[in-house]
Structure 1
Amino acid sequence: MSKKILDLFHIKSGINDTREKEKINLYTIEDWQSDMSNLFDDSDRTNHSVFKNSDSYAKYSLQEGDIIISLLSVKAVKVTSNSVSKVINKNFVYLRAKNNELDSDYFIYYFNESKAIRRQLAREMQGSLVVRLTPAVLKGLEITYPDRIQQSKIGLFYQLSRKLEILQNKRDSLMKKYLSGFFDKESQVKRGL
C-alpha cells in the first residue's frame, strides 16, 4: 500500500522562536539528539522542564509518541518522555498519526533509511542550494508500507539494530577511555612518576 504523509499524519510546523518574548520550554537540537540516541526505557529519567508552557503554545507542544522530523538533517525520531510538552521551533515539524494504519517505528525506518524517500527528496529539492526539507515537500512524500504485522516486525528490527549500534558506540568509547587511562598510567610508571 502507498499513501502520502499528509494522508497518514497531522503535520505541525514549529514556531519562530526568535520573535517570542515570553520564556518557552523549547525543544532544541540537543533534545532531538537525545531522542535520537535514547532508544531505551527512560522512565527513570526526569523531565528537565523548569517551567510550563502557556496554553497559547499547546498546538506546538509535543506528546509522547509523536514523530519529530528535523528539517535540517532530514531525519525522523520518536519523542521520548523527556521531551513531552516542549515546544518545537521552525527547525522541526512533528507528525501525529491520524489513525493506527502505520506503525511509527516502521515510518521512522522508512523515512530515515529508504532509498525511495531519498529519491523523492532529491527530485523535490533539485536545484536547491541549501538542503532543507520544507513542510510542503514533506506533506507530498509518498510512503509505501506492508500490512501492520510486517510493519511492526520491520520497525522493531530497525529499533533493535539502532540500539545495538548505540551500545557498540558506547562500548568503543569506553574502551578508548579505558585504554587511554591505562597507557597514561603505564607511561607515568616508565618515567618514574
Structure 2
Amino acid sequence: MVQLGELAEIVSGSNIVRLSESQQDRKYTTADFEHDFYTMKLANPQNAIIYQQSSSMPHMSAAILSDANKEKVISQIFAIIRIDVSRLNPWYLCYLLNQSQMIAHQYSNWLQGSVIVRFSAQLMKGVKIPLPDMTVQQNIGKLYATALYQNYLEVMQANRRLNGVLSVLRDMDEQKGDK
C-alpha cells in the first residue's frame, strides 16, 4: 500500500466567485465531468485526472480529463490529480477512486461527524492505495474504461431509438389531431 500523495500532485479547484468573466465562460461543468467520465477510455493518459471532491453520485468521482476539457477552469467542487504515470496507471487510479470499497471505507472513517461531505486535496493525499505491478494496473484500468465506454455507447444508442419512436408517435398524434 502506498499513499496517493507519494505518486501524485493534488490541487483543489478555484472558488468560482473569484473567477473573471472570461474564466466563467471556460468553467468546467458537471456535464463536462459526466462526459469525461464515460469517455475516459479515449482520453490521453498524460492528461490530469479530475476528481469530484463532494461526490453526490457514488461510483462516479474520478475521470481523466479529455483534450477538449483539459484547459478549462476547475471550480472548487473538483480537484486535479497529476500522477506519475510511470508508477501508476491513470485508468487504474480512476477505477480505485470510483469503485474500491477499501477507499470508500477510508473516506467514511475520515468524514465521520462531518457536516459537509468534501474530500479535500489534503485528505486525498493520505488515501492508501494498492500498487500492483504496471501490467496488472493496465489490465484493470483498460477493462474498467472499456466497460464504461461500452455502457455509454449502448445508452446513447438506446436514447436515439427512444427519440426515434417518440418522434413517430408525435407525428401520428399530430396527424390524428388534423382530422
User: Residues 117 and 89 (structure 1 numbering): CA distance in 2 closer, same or farther, change over 3 Å?
Assistant: same
Residue of structure 2 in register with 1:38 after alignment:
39
* Post-superposition CA distance 1:39-82 (Å, at most 9, x none): 46489xxxxxxxxxxxxxxxxxxx95100101121700101111
Displacement of 1:98: 3.3
Separation in structure 1 between the aligned mates of residue 154 and residue 8 of structure 2, nearest angstrom: 33
Residue of structure 1 in register with 2:162 after alignment:
176
2:81 is the alignment partner of 1:95: yes
Separation in structure 2 between the aligned mates of residue 71 and residue 131 of structure 1, nearest angstrom: 8
**Any gaps of 5 or more consecutive residues in structure 2?**
none
Structure 1 segments (4+ residues) deviating >4 Å:
40-43, 188-193
2:69 is the alignment partner of 1:69: no
TM-score normalised by L of structure 2: 0.84
**What SS does the aligned partner of 2:145 have?**
helix
User: Residues 122 and 178 (structure 1 numbering): CA distance in 2 closer, same or farther, change over 3 Å?
Assistant: same
Displacement of 1:186: 3.5
Q: CA RMSD in A?
A: 2.4
Letter in 2 for 1:95: I
* Alignment map for 1:128-139 (pairs within 5 Å): 128-139=114-125
Aligned length: 173
Whether contact under 8 Å (1:69, 1:94) holds in the other structure is yes
Displacement of 1:109: 0.6
**What SS does the aligned partner of 2:50 have?**
strand
Letter in 1 for 2:14: I
Whether contact under 8 Å (1:106, 1:154) holds in the other structure is yes
Displacement of 1:28: 2.9
2:107 corresponds, among 121, 129, 132, to: 121
Task: Report the identity percentage.
Answer: 25
**Any gaps of 5 or more consecutive residues in structure 1?**
44-62
